[in-house]
Structure 1
Amino acid sequence: MKIGILGTRGIPNNYGGFEQFAEFFSTYAAQAGHDVFVYSPHNHPYNETVFEKVNLIKCYDPEHKIGTIGQFIYDLNCIIDSRKRNFDIILQLGYTSSAFWYDLHPKNSLVITNMDGLEWKRTKYSKPVQKVLKIAEKLAANKSDYLISDSLGIQQYLLNTHNKDSEYIAYGAHNFDTPNEAILSLYHVEKHHFNMIMARFEPENNLDMVLEGVQLSADEKPILVIGNHNTKYGEYLKNKFKNCKKIKFLGAIYNLNHLDNLRYFSNLYFHGHTVGGTNPSLLEAMASQALIVAHNNLFNKGVLQENAFYFNSSIDVKKIIDATKKNDNLQFVKNNFEAIATKFNWNKINEEYLQFFSKCLARNSRRAKAK
């Protein structure tokens, strides 16, 4: 198959979840003999034209000059370029800034969209922007040839809201089983004597609720708060909890080995996300053998099942902190670790994508051909 991947800030990944998936999937597919192309912004720091057998196409992205509107222009540039490539499959990752250009996709390529999460529910967006994102979601759902949901919750939502079937293919992670306790000294914490939370500083990730529970708790273990806090919401949280000495704002950490070890040696790992499908950081926490305390919603429960503690309020957080130790709940940890190995490992996920692409081509007369 000739596959084009659109909708990311390029590979190798230096940004986020879709970019990480694009890197893992594209290199897997290329190694399997497929002709794979990934679109990247013109100013991506990797300047070669090939990355591990994956062809890279750079398109102009003015976001650094004009802000968010630049994403729409970048997506348009990528779609226009795709019209001359004769792709069998165009994998469109997300829809927030590309859906309004869907009619410009090449007609002889199958457009398969990973619908991501409920972007319009993100509170960082104003009400008018949320309305626009709802329109974008509807356009992507109706104009794509096929849809992919990375969580069962999103799959059900698309069926209920847009009457659209979608293929459930989860996100992936790599199991971590090589801990190095020496790394803890870099962060001035001790094994199982700290808790942590890692998230973008956005209200729907419930940092405020978790940190209120920490403040109320009688337990004196510090909590490491990992994520870029140099934002308006970050300043609000730092000011609100400035007198709570056990709350440690560390900023963003991009060293995966450090993150894996922090998760592995933490007592409790809080996951407050409420918007989205299968969240990458949640799978990474499972793969790192953390004991997870998650916000009680269908996205998190769809992944964790009964192998986590759940909270709906800061009082819930307080009670869990005061009563819960990792060493008393190792079966939860083991079950989640095994789920990564059996259900959420990258090789399985990547192969499911390729099999789905093949099925889509076989059942669609426009692109059905002898392979």
Structure 2
Amino acid sequence: MKSHFSGECPRVAVIGTRGFPSYYGGFETLVRRLAPYLAERGWEVDVYSRPGHVVDEKIPPGVTQRFTHGVESTSASTLSYGLTACADAARRKPDVALVMNVANGYFLPLLKARGIPVVLNVDGLEWEREKWSTPAKRVFRAGATMSAKFADTLVADSLEIGRHWRENFQRDTTFIPYGGDVPDSPNAHRVRERLGLEPGSYVLAVARFVPENTMQEFFDAVRLMDSSIPVVVAGSASPDDPIQRAAAALAAKRSNVHLLGHLRDDELLHALWSNAGVYFHGHSVGGTNPALVQAMACGAPVVARDTVFNREVLGDAGAFTSVNARNISDRLTELLSDAGRRASLSSAARDRGDEHYSWEQVLGAYERCISEVAGSCLALSGRHGESR
């Protein structure tokens, strides 16, 4: 596909993730799918990446890793890498920038000064996450204000997040959620080989060990459950984190608790979801959570923390629980013992995921969005037909 903007292929800079290819989180999962998709459709894709945060995999034609420098620390990494990436992109002047995370809103003036249109994914409500200190929350909130002022288009991954931006920042958003991969096979043999567990026999949780993901309450609930029920957890935190310590102590006492840490093996992770008796989803602050969407694509019967975001995604295709160890324990064990309801929720989750959260829909929506923003900005600046 030749660019309709000029005589060359259109170029997009992707800024604000750990890079390509990376398996860290939702943004990285999106970029792993979006970058090759855009390249196959004729785009030149520059993905700004952090040294040491990408895996050694073949880079598809049309996709370029662009490494910049930053400060490797919890408080400074996002801002420092965002600054250097935006500065480099401003120098190279792509047709459009796709920026992830409102923390990078501070650096949008660098791009705008060079006439580069910006599509920015606002993510969740970072300034409400318990893991951040008060100064960090203020940084994210101010970044959101800058994003609202300077981004040409804002993308929200949930309708509820979009409502929040209309009410609090007076900006409309384009709704584009995350997608899920439908496995070709449940791959039950992977679960048997790794854990010795049979399909439908275990409770699964997949999450980082942070307060807003309800993992402490989940581990408290596991203590209340029968010790014969296998519990599998994919996720972790630093060794000195209190939730990590609680998880390790629980696993040391109970042989039925399997802590797998952070998994980069997508096939194994999908197999765990596909064969879970119940999947617990405790995320509370973000919008459409990628793990929940992927669990639905795998047909996992879900018990989710009762939030407006989780209800938006699941609809009637899941069960809900309050933030209370006893309630969580009761909901998990009730669903695990009800094969008929598990089958019904599994089917409903797959159907809902296929209708609303397929990658084909998501990737097509992103391409339309960045194409429209780039095209309209080029038309306004009179750059149509100019050589680059």
TM-score (norm 2): 0.88
CA shift digits 1:65-98 (9 cap, x unpaired): x5532432221111111112222211101122x2
SS in 1 for 2:143: helix
Q: How far apart in 2 are the matches of 1:209 and 1:345?
A: 31
Q: How far apart in 1 are the matches of 2:302 and 2:61?
A: 35
Structure 1 counterpart of 2:15: 6
Structure 1 counterpart of 2:309: 299
Paired AA for residue 348 in structure 1: Q
Paired AA for residue 21 in structure 2: P
Q: 2:380 aligns with which of 344, 366, 371?
A: 366
| Residue 248 (str. 1) matches residue 258 (str. 2) | yes
- Count of residue correspondences: 368
- 1:39 Cα shift? 1.0
Q: 1:350 aligns with which of 363, 376, 383?
A: 363
Residues 1:68 and 1:127: Cα distance change in structure 2 (over 3 Å):
closer
Structure 2 counterpart of 1:188: 196
Of the structure 1 ranges 235-244 and 204-213, higher mean CA displacement relative to structure 2 is found in: 235-244
The 5 A counterparts of 1:55-74 are 55-63=64-72, 68-74=75-81
Structure 2 counterpart of 1:209: 217
Q: 1:339 aligns with which of 352, 356, 362?
A: 352
Structure 2 counterpart of 1:314: 325
SS in 1 for 2:102: coil
- 1:129 Cα shift? 1.7
User: Contact 1:109–1:367 (CA<8 Å) still a contact in 2?
Assistant: no
Paired AA for residue 190 in structure 1: E
Q: 2:339 aligns with which of 290, 304, 327?
A: 327
Q: How far apart in 2 are the matches of 1:289 and 1:45?
A: 29
SS in 2 for 1:36: strand
- 1:132 Cα shift? 2.0
User: Contact 1:43–1:61 (CA<8 Å) still a contact in 2?
Assistant: no
User: Contact 1:148–1:168 (CA<8 Å) still a contact in 2?
Assistant: yes
Residues 1:367 and 1:283: Cα distance change in structure 2 (over 3 Å):
farther
Structure 1 counterpart of 2:48: 39
Q: 2:235 aligns with which of 224, 227, 240?
A: 227
SS in 1 for 2:88: helix
CA shift digits 1:190-228 (9 cap, x unpaired): 221111111001011001222222322347312112212
Structure 2 counterpart of 1:288: 298
Structure 2 counterpart of 1:16: 25
| Residue 129 (str. 1) matches residue 136 (str. 2) | yes
- 1:169 Cα shift? 0.5
The 5 A counterparts of 1:120-199 are 120-185=127-192, 186-199=194-207
- 1:144 Cα shift? 1.1
Q: How far apart in 2 are the matches of 1:320 and 1:328?
A: 15
Q: How far apart in 1 are the matches of 2:211 and 2:57?
A: 38
User: Contact 2:75–2:136 (CA<8 Å) still a contact in 1?
Assistant: no
Residues 1:257 and 1:45: Cα distance change in structure 2 (over 3 Å):
closer
Residues 1:26 and 1:363: Cα distance change in structure 2 (over 3 Å):
same
Structure 2 counterpart of 1:110: 117
User: Contact 1:268–1:292 (CA<8 Å) still a contact in 2?
Assistant: yes
Q: How far apart in 1 are the matches of 2:83 and 2:147?
A: 14
SS in 1 for 2:12: strand
Q: Please provide the CA RMSD for this pair.
A: 2.3
User: Contact 1:6–1:38 (CA<8 Å) still a contact in 2?
Assistant: yes
Q: How far apart in 2 are the matches of 1:129 and 1:305?
A: 33
SS in 1 for 2:92: coil
Residues 1:302 and 1:367: Cα distance change in structure 2 (over 3 Å):
farther
Q: How far apart in 2 are the matches of 1:275 and 1:237?
A: 22
Q: How far apart in 1 are the matches of 2:362 and 2:39?
A: 15
- 1:167 Cα shift? 0.2
Of the structure 1 ranges 300-309 and 78-87, higher mean CA displacement relative to structure 2 is found in: 78-87
User: Contact 1:196–1:270 (CA<8 Å) still a contact in 2?
Assistant: yes
SS in 1 for 2:380: coil
Residues 1:263 and 1:50: Cα distance change in structure 2 (over 3 Å):
closer
Residues 1:367 and 1:10: Cα distance change in structure 2 (over 3 Å):
farther
User: Contact 2:125–2:285 (CA<8 Å) still a contact in 1?
Assistant: yes
User: Contact 1:123–1:203 (CA<8 Å) still a contact in 2?
Assistant: yes
Residues 1:240 and 1:334: Cα distance change in structure 2 (over 3 Å):
closer
- 1:50 Cα shift? 5.3
Residues 1:20 and 1:218: Cα distance change in structure 2 (over 3 Å):
closer
Q: How far apart in 2 are the matches of 1:196 and 1:345?
A: 23
Structure 1, unmatched stretches of 5+, are none
Percent same amino acid among aligned pairs?
Answer: 26
Structure 2, unmatched stretches of 5+, are 1-9
SS in 1 for 2:331: helix
Paired AA for residue 216 in structure 2: D
SS in 2 for 1:129: helix
Q: 1:51 aligns with which of 34, 56, 60?
A: 60
- 1:117 Cα shift? 0.6
